[in-house]
Amino acid sequence: MALTTFFREGFLMELLSAILGDVVSRSITFMIDRYPKQRPSVDENLQRLHHLLVRIRTVVEEAEQRHVTNHGMIRQLELLREQMFRGHCVLDALRFRDEEEDEVTPHFALSKFNRAKRIRFSDSSSNTQIQTRSTNDLHRTVTSLERIIGDTKEFVVFLMSYPPVYRQPYSTHLYLDGCMFSRQMERENAISFLLQREPLAVAEEIVQVLPVVGPEFVGKSTLVEHICRDQRVREHFSLILYYSGDDLRYEKAETFSEICQTKHRNESNDAMDGRLLLIIELLGDVDERTLKKIHSSFRKQMTHEIKIMITSRSEKIIRLGAKQALRLNFLPFEAYWYFFKVLAFGATDPEQHPKLASMAMEIATVLRGCFLCAHIGGALLKANFNSKFWSRFVAFVREYRDEINSLMPCDCQDHPKFGWVIVRPKPENYFVLRDSYQKALVEDDGPKIKLVDLLSGRVRRRGKFEVLVWKSRIPPYYSYISNCVMY
């Protein structure tokens, strides 16, 4: 009996001890959870962000070297790119700071969607508030990237199943200068529409149109050209025709095919006995009735489906799309800064030149996502790699932003653009650019005077002459030309 009582009391003591231990453990956990956790320092977070960006960039570059066709994988790759661009922007905004005696260090307040804004302040309270916001941005970015890196394991496994895209190895600055940047999702969506097969009865009755809408110099022609060069598209369509003009109303449907440029013809069989892709590039709207007439004229010759892609600056053409439309917008600041930084610095490490990098970031905010301006500005900065010229260029873009709203050639409004020689503190000679146009030119064709030479002061000429604003290095290899008047 005494032994039974002893064991019973021992069991109760152990049970009581276990309960007390559990209560104490829960209490400690509760107190720890309530007590604010110590955040890593800014330097620690910057180091973590740097390592995370190296890892995520490795995954992105590997994916870009694979022929990925799955839309879910492509979408995940787009999200990885967006986070990588944002991470680089946050890292650079905190690293590259001016150190001038008369100004407090500028910071770039980054929102989730808006481009960075350069903020100057004079009192210490504002300084503290902005610095706190920048630190919070840094912490959120690191946390987000850590979560994304943890979710990429399956993505990397699936990635290995896709065949590699064979190309010569390039440095990043040469690769970005010679490829279509950040339009992979739009390209795949368009190709998916083009390759989708409709029942013959439906294809005969409905004009299947994919509108591509966006402002001037956003990359509509470049996107369409890359789509037409895709091997899947070329194997699907027997004939790809291209038309460019201001208006379709004055074109005769019966002879329309004769004025079109042939981009691709499948020689293995009769091209007119297969599928047709018609590319129409317009400045404005299109008459739907005229479009149907053109479609009907091709229908008499083609035995299979006809699909049409129309590019325009006018939002009105969206009504022509039976299922979808592609809207191209200028890049968000985070992606644009990554692109512009690579063009401006080339193979040079921006971390070795924090003052120049800070000036480049301010320039990028003014250029507003324009690819053409990125190439022009990047070429000027890379060719004049010194703080004096870069300071002049910063003053140049500030003048554009604050006083002359039509200075750079990327302005989408149809009025003259003004400029002057950047290397001089006070403009001595102004020039005006008007009647700009784009054209596919051969190597020795076109104007010899370049806009970058006018801006940098290497060419001094008065009067009227043509200027090569920029020559693209990627398909369709357009040259952008303007008539110039130097005063």
- Would you say residue 457 has pLDDT above 80? yes
- Mean residue pLDDT of the chain comes to 77
**Tens digit of each residue's pLDDT (9 = 90 or more) over 2-48:** 444 444 455 445 544 554 555 555 554 554 455 445 567 888 888 99
Query: Which pLDDT value is given to residue 419?
Result: 79
Q: What is the mean pLDDT of residues 120-147?
A: 64
* Comparison of pLDDT for 450 and 180, the residue scoring more: 450
Query: Which pLDDT value is given to residue 278?
Result: 93
Grade residue 356 by pLDDT with cuts at 50, 70 and 90.
Answer: very high
- Would you say residue 109 has pLDDT above 50? no
- Would you say residue 389 has pLDDT above 70? yes
Q: Are 219 and 183 in contact (CB under 8 A)?
A: yes
Query: Which pLDDT value is given to residue 233?
Result: 92
Query: Which pLDDT value is given to residue 390?
Result: 94
Lowest mean pLDDT among 15-29, 109-123, 192-206, 294-308: 109-123
Grade residue 309 by pLDDT with cuts at 50, 70 and 90.
Answer: very high
Grade residue 200 by pLDDT with cuts at 50, 70 and 90.
Answer: low
Q: What is the mean pLDDT of residues 228-246?
A: 89
Q: What is the mean pLDDT of residues 426-445?
A: 75
d(CA 173, CA 195): 33
Grade residue 175 by pLDDT with cuts at 50, 70 and 90.
Answer: low
Q: What is the mean pLDDT of residues 304-312?
A: 88
Q: What is the mean pLDDT of residues 210-236?
A: 90
